[in-house]
Amino acid sequence: MNIDTTVESALAEIAAADTEATLRDLEVGLLGKKGTITELTRLIGAAPPAERGPIGKAINVAKATVTQALEARKVALVQGAIARELADTTFDVSVPGARPDLGSFHPLTLVQERLEDIFTAMGFMVLDYGEVETDFMNFEALNIPKHHPARDMQDTFWTKDGHVLRTHTSPGQIRAMKQFAPPFRAAFPGKVFRNEALDASHEHTFHQLEGLFVDRVVSVAGLISTMKIMLSQVFEREVTVRLRPGYFPFVEPGFELDMQCLLCGGAGCRVCKHSGWVETLGCGLVHPNVLRHAGLDPAEWQAWAFGMGLSRLVMMRYGIDDIRHVLGGDLRFLQQFA
């Protein structure tokens, strides 16, 4: 094996390469792990000790020469391809190039930001609290003590140290009342978690938005008026709603506000479970026990609160018939909002 002969042969092959693909294959064949130039290193071990240094230097020079020739040929091939395209009389420089795919906001983000704008315009602060909560904040401070039947309504994910992945955004009520001096209005959107069976309208991970208004005197009429304004702004049209009594441990009295299903117009579909109505939010006057846990005197302060499922609002807003699409990560679904 002769170094000079090997290099001359390699340079001739490089000069003869007429495509970038051929050149890449040639580069592997010359400088790869078992390449022709790489194999020259065997000459070092076979030579007498006194000759190994000069042979090693000669091999390094050979590698550098071949590498430079490969780079020069690569540049020449690229420039040649460009020159051929420019010389092509059929090439139309006015034709638009291929547009890269653009990202987009997730539908949840679009609806959440819309709601935040609506509530900000009505004088609400938008607050953000943690997704891992204490048992006290998630349950007891909200009038749900241990062994309370309401705990069975929310299948909970527990951490090893006894904390919970919050089952609702309602702990924001307690944290806000502890953090800010009344009167104030606050809304807190966020992700919540429940160990539920999956179907078209239920997920183990979904999004909610909680709202709270604390003042010396509040009313159910003010609460309902705020909810109607919010829904009409979100859907950009009048919506049909109904109010019925509902039980939530942290409000008294409590109400369920239902909205007529916008997918079927009230005729019945799998999203509304063929009832024509979709449970949109729970609301009511904050229970005195909750005010006490937050450090407020119920004789001096009153409050109303509401909580809604953002995921279901997204489904109604964009005509999505399965909640599993919302967090499924399917690009075909997300690209519709680009």
What tens digit of pLDDT does each residue of 132-168 get? 999 899 999 999 888 777 666 667 888 888 899 998 8
Of these ranges, 193-202, 293-302, 323-332, the one predicted with the greatest mean pLDDT is 293-302
Identify whether residues 45 and 177 lie together within a single domain.
no
Query: Is residue 74 a part of any domain in this protein?
Result: yes
Count CB atoms within 10 A of the CB of residue 34: 8
Of these ranges, 73-82, 101-110, 231-240, the one predicted with the greatest mean pLDDT is 73-82
- What's the mean pLDDT in 36-53? 81
- What's the mean pLDDT in 82-89? 82
Query: Is residue 99 a part of any domain in this protein?
Result: no
Last residue of one domain, picked from the residues 19, 52, 87: 87
pLDDT per position as a tens digit, 307-326? 988 887 888 778 787 777 87
Cα three-residue angle 280-222-108, rounded to 5 degrees = 35
Identify whether residues 221 and 303 lie together within a single domain.
yes
Give the per-residue pLDDT at 301: 96
The whole-model pTM stands at 0.64
Q: Are 268 and 155 in contact (CB under 8 A)?
A: no
Query: Is residue 329 a part of any domain in this protein?
Result: yes
Residue 78 reports pLDDT greater than 80: yes
- What's the mean pLDDT in 12-41? 85
Query: Is residue 205 a part of any domain in this protein?
Result: yes
Query: Is residue 160 a part of any domain in this protein?
Result: yes
143: left (phi over 0), alpha (psi -120 to 50) or beta: left
Residue 243 reports pLDDT greater than 70: yes
Identify whether residues 122 and 82 lie together within a single domain.
no
Identify whether residues 239 and 284 lie together within a single domain.
yes
Ranking 10-14, 162-166, 194-198, 231-235 by mean pLDDT, the lowest is 194-198
Helices marked H in the chain = 3-16, 20-31, 42-46, 49-87, 107-121, 135-138, 171-179, 220-235, 288-293, 310-318, 331-334
Identify whether residues 126 and 234 lie together within a single domain.
yes
**pLDDT band at residue 10 under the 50/70/90 scheme:** confident
Sign of CA dihedral 166, 168, 169, 175: negative
Give the per-residue pLDDT at 198: 63
Residue 173 reports pLDDT greater than 90: yes
Identify whether residues 255 and 321 lie together within a single domain.
yes
Count of domains forming the chain: 2
Residue 23 reports pLDDT greater than 90: no
**Domain with 317 in it: what CATH number?**
3.30.930.10
Identify whether residues 78 and 127 lie together within a single domain.
no
**pLDDT band at residue 126 under the 50/70/90 scheme:** very high
Residue 196 reports pLDDT greater than 80: no
Identify whether residues 168 and 302 lie together within a single domain.
yes
Give the per-residue pLDDT at 197: 64
Average pLDDT of every residue of the chain: 86
Say if residue 253 is preceded by a cis peptide, omega within 30 of 0: yes
Full domain range(s) for residue 50: 3-87
Query: Is residue 323 a part of any domain in this protein?
Result: yes
Q: What is the DSSP-derived secondary structure letter of residue 217?
A: S
